[in-house]
Amino acid sequence: WSGCLSRMLRFDPVLTQVVGVGLCACAIIVSAVSVSRAYEPKQDYRGALEFVQNQRRPDDVILTVDLTALPYQRFFKMDWKNVTTVDELALARSQGTRTWLVYTMPVVLQAAHPEIMKTINREFQTIKEFSGTLNGGNIVVSRAESSIP
């Protein structure tokens, strides 16, 4: 194939092979660099869990909403309450001094629970985001300093 190409374009056959090998080597290097990212977590639930556990105070309330409930309650066996309404969020917040709220995929949360997302944007501060390889799937750790404004 390189011989045919070099004859058609009147290139030196040896130079054509060297260039071909060089291009293949570049493709392999670029691929090798990107492969490591494939083995990173899609979402860093564990990182967010460890962060919250290290930062929480004894009287803090920790909550999940929407898509974060399953991983924390079933896989990590945390007793974090999942809220599905603004009223549940307000009630849970009244039971502690500070409230941690862990969520993911804000676009999905906005569509599924717009009133909760409005409360998060108005009353919570994003403390830290944990990225992964899932686009838009950062785990967001937010906190409200007092129970209810």
Other C-beta atoms lying within 10 Å of the C-beta of residue 104: 25
Six-digit token string for 42: 């899609």
pLDDT at 6: 65
d(CA 98, CA 113): 22
Other C-beta atoms lying within 10 Å of the C-beta of residue 59: 9
d(CA 142, CA 125): 5
pLDDT tens per residue, range 88-144: 999 999 999 999 999 999 999 999 999 999 999 999 999 999 998 888 899 999 999
pLDDT tens per residue, range 46-104: 999 999 999 999 999 999 999 999 999 999 999 999 999 999 999 999 999 999 999 99
Of 109, 115, 116, the C-alpha closest to 136 is 109
